Homo-oligomer: A and B are copies of this chain.
Amino acid sequence: MNTLPHNILTFVHSLLSQHLKTGDCVADCTAGNGNDTLFLAETVGKTGKIWAFDIQEVALHNTRQRLQDAGLSEPVELILDGHQNIDQHIQQPLDAVMFNLGYLPQGDKHCTTQTDSTLIAIKKSLKLLRKNGILSVVLYSGHAAGFAECAAIEQFSGSLKQQDYDILRYQFANRPKTAPYALIFRKMTDEIIFQAA
């Protein structure tokens, strides 16, 4: 466990690994090259359940390959759809949801997450979380679309009540303002869309 790592993605994994356990149900809203999906599969194991979303076929292909290499395909459902439709695919409470915004590494840099659909996906994901569930977002303000996306997510986060969510911002104080940073939401309320099965 390392909660003081050099890299914000490692940091988020460290935090989540403390809060998740075998058998948990989780979603990766930005499958990308499968980095977070694989981490989630390793963490919740074969008795858990992972939904991984991406709108690019190449992303799901890469993710599928990584899971196969690790022998962890079984608990993962790969979904070729926008994360703003998460509630069409998941009808049960979640223990964690991950977002890693921006564009696909080594992919088309013009195909980035979009403010409107990202916000919808975050709002729906927060509703799907069970009490004490965690939602993590890694944000990148260094590209044009990312800057607006960060501002919108910050505004939305700031509007949530303290009694409903603890939201911690983790960022490096001696890196450029455009360095990636993380927001971690912990749900404090019982309110969920779907009851446990």
A154 to B173, CA, bound (A): 7
**When each residue 156-197 of chain A gets 1 if its CB lies under 8 Å from chain B and 0 otherwise, what string results?**
011111100111111111110000000110100000000000
**Inter-chain contacts of A184 with B (CB < 8 A):** 4
Q: How large is the interface on A (under 10, 10 to 19, 20 to 34, 35 or more residues)?
A: 20 to 34
**Inter-chain contacts of A19 with B (CB < 8 A):** 4
**Inter-chain contacts of A109 with B (CB < 8 A):** none
Interface residue? A18 (CB, 8 A) = yes
Contact A157 B169 (CB under 8 A): no
Interface residue? A68 (CB, 8 A) = no
Q: Which residue in chain B gives the minimum CB-CB distance to A134?
A: B4
Pick 29 A–B contacts, CB within 8 A, sort by A: A1-B18, A3-B3, A3-B15, A3-B18, A4-B134, A4-B166, A4-B168, A4-B184, A5-B166, A6-B166, A11-B168, A154-B173, A157-B174, A158-B173, A162-B172, A162-B174, A162-B175, A165-B174, A167-B173, A167-B174, A168-B170, A168-B171, A168-B173, A169-B169, A169-B170, A169-B171, A169-B172, A170-B170, A173-B183
